[in-house]
């Protein structure tokens, strides 16, 4: 049982599915038709060093000798694979493609897929089945509940010594940037049983993205309050921006999950609830300091009252419960405002400007609460773990792969530009081809890169002083300045880090979320309680149930196990303090 929401209902935040449009505007049919042989030739020149030997790209520091050392004898690693909008050259397969071959060449590890899943929800379901059947892959990514179950039952390899010997200095520095919190979350009784992902703090808040050109045409002021947002939505709905003689602009898109729990994404209503001091699907501290579940607090009822009014007035998309993907409205420029994180320019805004080159988007830290503060929750330091089954002969193999593609992701592998060029031609991104969906970065990465990027663009520092990743952003910003909107990759990166990075620096009132481990009653009752909550919230918003149904829901929630869960969570939180 996973406490997280069904990840398949989102994950714009993984940027896998989100960025399928990143290069589409500039792709030609010839690029898509490149053969596997052509890709092999392109890689040959960049992935070999002097004398034809593989160029490791690893630091000369002896501390990284084991991290990047290639196996002399081949090692096979059987893993599950979650794929996301990958494009494959002719002759390649998801298991045998240009990146898996590169990883094998660099590490000596042959990757075999135990099974595959197209999204997070199906991955989690198949992983649960593998756990129940006792047929564990050699290494795999587990969620929090799966990790704890397997670690406590002795089914995971102890990775404490493996980490000390084989983790690269880069990986160690990224974990170190969390102050030890990430590794602590992956430990049990002082021993390390997984390599956790690292959450970026800026990923948590959701902001209001607005078609600024529409706002200016109507002479409307920048949005701040909930009332401002409603007024803008109504004005946009009444306007005829596309000139077809119809007032057919949609209201604010809403993801059918309504709110996100551990991590946010596009079209969630988290910001609206937060303006009322409400945090559905989150555990927070109540006025007495004890943990409470945000979905059953009176502040949530106040937010639902407004949302029901918004739905009735057309402020919200009236068809949101029927849409397969709420982002289509933004991508097709059928709406002019939506709630989304800092990275929304990657998707859906890259598709929006591809569809309408005149579209101008701006982001605002809105809505503010009645006191004029922008309120947000906090995200967990980690929520996924790369683990190895107990008994596998080469547990360090998983870490060697993590070392290698983390170096690629951080743009420190000298072969990365060639690999990125290939995926650019395919209209996707390199991370979509990684064997594990587990990315590492520093918690303050977005704001730090924003500041350094702005300094370089303003001439305050030289581009050569930038780290590899920020230098790449700088090059994208220069490209965008010289040829606006001619390169979707350059536009997306520029807008995400300049606009999204700037709004991430907004002074915020952060309400600490408590990320609790599953309790005994949760294991038995949580799925039914989540279903009750989701259905009640949706029916109140759409008017199928009156607002008074919230009180009935709270009574049912407590009676069906919620009160026991609340007590168990209080004990669990005290124990972890």
Q: What is the pLDDT of residues 462-501, one digit of tens each?
A: 999 998 889 989 999 999 999 999 988 899 999 999 999 9
Task: Quote the CA–CA distance of 66 and 62 in Å, as a whole number.
Answer: 8
Strand blocks (E) in 134-237: 139-143, 187-188, 191-192, 195-196, 207-211
- The yes-or-no verdict on residue 301 having pLDDT over 80 is yes
Residue 271, Cα to own-chain centre: how many angstroms?
A: 17
pLDDT (tens digit, 9 = 90+) per residue, 47-96? 443 333 333 444 446 779 899 999 999 999 999 999 876 788 889 998 99
Considering the domain architecture, whether residues 92 and 177 belong to the same structural domain is answered as yes
Beta bridge partners of 252: 316
Residue 55: predicted pLDDT: 38
93 lies in some domain: yes
Backbone angles phi, psi at 387, to 5 degrees: -125, 165
- Average pLDDT over the chain, rounded to whole? 88
Which stretch of 309-318, 412-421, 488-497 has the lowest confidence by average pLDDT? 412-421
Considering the domain architecture, whether residues 462 and 499 belong to the same structural domain is answered as yes
Beta bridge partners of 187: 192
Q: What percent of the chain has pLDDT over 70?
A: 89
Residue 138: predicted pLDDT: 98
Considering the domain architecture, whether residues 212 and 182 belong to the same structural domain is answered as no
Total tally of structural domains belonging to the chain? 3
- The yes-or-no verdict on residue 459 having pLDDT over 90 is yes
26 lies in some domain: no
28 lies in some domain: no
**Three-state secondary structure call for residue 147:** helix
Q: Do residues 314 and 253 lie in contact, with contact meaning Cβ atoms separated by under 8 Å? A: no
Is the four-CA dihedral 49, 55, 57, 60 of positive or negative sign? negative
Q: What percent of the chain has pLDDT over 90?
A: 75
- The yes-or-no verdict on residue 40 having pLDDT over 80 is no
Residue 332, Cα to own-chain centre: how many angstroms?
A: 22
- The yes-or-no verdict on residue 44 having pLDDT over 80 is no
Considering the domain architecture, whether residues 261 and 288 belong to the same structural domain is answered as yes
Considering the domain architecture, whether residues 162 and 95 belong to the same structural domain is answered as yes
Helix axes 488-495, 468-482, angle to 10 degrees: 110
Residue 7: predicted pLDDT: 30
- The yes-or-no verdict on residue 398 having pLDDT over 60 is yes
Considering the domain architecture, whether residues 303 and 366 belong to the same structural domain is answered as yes
Q: Do residues 80 and 115 lie in contact, with contact meaning Cβ atoms separated by under 8 Å? A: yes
- The yes-or-no verdict on residue 5 having pLDDT over 50 is no
From the list 344, 395, 412, the residue with the least C-alpha distance to 174 is: 412
Helix axes 549-557, 298-313, angle to 10 degrees: 140
- The yes-or-no verdict on residue 569 having pLDDT over 70 is yes
Residue 577: predicted pLDDT: 67
Considering the domain architecture, whether residues 387 and 309 belong to the same structural domain is answered as no
Task: Quote the CA–CA distance of 299 and 279 in Å, as a whole number.
Answer: 8
Beta bridge partners of 208: 339, 364
pLDDT band at 141 (very low <50, low <70, confident <90, very high): very high
Helices of type H across 200-314: 212-217, 226-238, 270-275, 298-313
423 lies in some domain: yes
pLDDT (tens digit, 9 = 90+) per residue, 213-253? 999 999 999 999 999 999 999 999 999 898 888 888 999 99
Take residue 387 and report the two structure tokens written for it: 């683990």
Q: Which domain holds residue 162?
A: 62-199+382-433
């Amino acid at each position: 049982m996973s406490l997280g929401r069904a990840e398949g209902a989102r994950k714009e935040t993984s940027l896998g599915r989100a960025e399928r449009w990143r290069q589409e505007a500039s792709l030609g049919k010839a690029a898509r038709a490149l053969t596997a042989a052509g890709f092999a030739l392109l890689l040959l020149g960049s992935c070999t060093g002097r004398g034809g030997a593989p160029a490791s790209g690893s630091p000369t520091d002896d501390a990284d000798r084991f991290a990047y050392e290639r196996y002399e004898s081949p090692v096979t690693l059987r893993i599950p694979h979650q794929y996301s909008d990958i494009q494959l050259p002719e002759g390649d397969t998801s298991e045998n493609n240009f990146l898996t071959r590169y990883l094998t060449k660099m590490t000596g590890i042959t990757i075999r897929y135990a099974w595959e899943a197209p999204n997070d929800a199906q991955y989690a379901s198949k992983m649960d089945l593998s756990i129940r059947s006792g047929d564990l892959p050699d290494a795999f990514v587990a969620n929090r509940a799966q990790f704890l179950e397997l670690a406590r039952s002795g089914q995971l390899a102890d990775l404490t010594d493996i980490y000390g010997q084989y983790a690269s200095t880069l990986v160690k520095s990224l974990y170190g940037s969390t102050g030890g919190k990430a590794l602590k979350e992956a430990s049990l009784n002082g021993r390390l049983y997984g390599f956790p992902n690292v959450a970026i703090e800026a990923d948590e808040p959701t902001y209001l993205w607005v078609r600024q050109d529409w706002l200016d045409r109507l002479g409307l002021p920048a949005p701040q309050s909930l009332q401002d947002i409603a007024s803008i939505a109504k004005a946009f709905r009444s306007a005829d921006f596309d000139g077809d003689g119809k007032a057919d602009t949609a209201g604010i898109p809403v993801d059918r999950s309504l709110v996100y729990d551990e991590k946010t994404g596009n079209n969630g209503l988290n910001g609206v609830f937060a303006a009322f001091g409400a945090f559905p699907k989150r555990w927070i501290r109540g006025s007495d300091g004890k943990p409470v579940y945000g979905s059953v607090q009176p502040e949530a009822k106040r937010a639902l009252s407004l949302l029901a009014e918004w739905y009735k007035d057309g402020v919200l998309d009236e068809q949101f419960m029927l849409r397969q993907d709420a982002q289509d409205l933004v991508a097709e420029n059928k709406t002019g405002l939506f709630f989304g994180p800092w990275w929304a320019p990657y998707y859906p805004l890259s598709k929006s400007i591809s569809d309408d080159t005149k579209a101008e988007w701006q982001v605002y830290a809105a809505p503010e609460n009645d006191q004029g503060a922008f309120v947000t929750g906090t995200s967990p330091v980690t929520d996924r773990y790369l683990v190895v089954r107990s008994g596998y002969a080469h547990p360090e193999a998983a870490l060697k792969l993590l070392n290698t593609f983390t170096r690629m992701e951080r743009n420190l592998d000298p072969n990365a530009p060639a690999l990125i060029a290939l995926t650019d031609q395919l209209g996707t991104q390199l991370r979509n081809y990684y064997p594990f969906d587990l990315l590492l970065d520093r918690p303050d990465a977005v704001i730090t890169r924003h500041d350094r990027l702005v300094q370089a663009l303003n001439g305050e520092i030289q581009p050569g002083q930038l780290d590899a990743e920020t230098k790449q952003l700088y090059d994208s910003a220069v490209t965008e300045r010289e040829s606006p909107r001619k390169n979707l990759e350059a536009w997306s990166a520029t807008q995400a880090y300049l606009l999204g990075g700037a709004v991430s620096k907004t002074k915020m009132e952060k309400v600490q979320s408590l990320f609790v481990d599953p309790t005994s009653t949760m294991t038995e009752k949580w799925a039914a309680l989540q279903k009750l909550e989701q259905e009640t919230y949706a029916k109140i918003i759409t008017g199928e149930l009156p607002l008074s149904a919230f009180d009935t829901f709270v009574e049912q929630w407590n009676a069906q196990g919620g009160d026991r869960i609340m007590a168990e969570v209080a004990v669990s939180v005290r124990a972890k303090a």
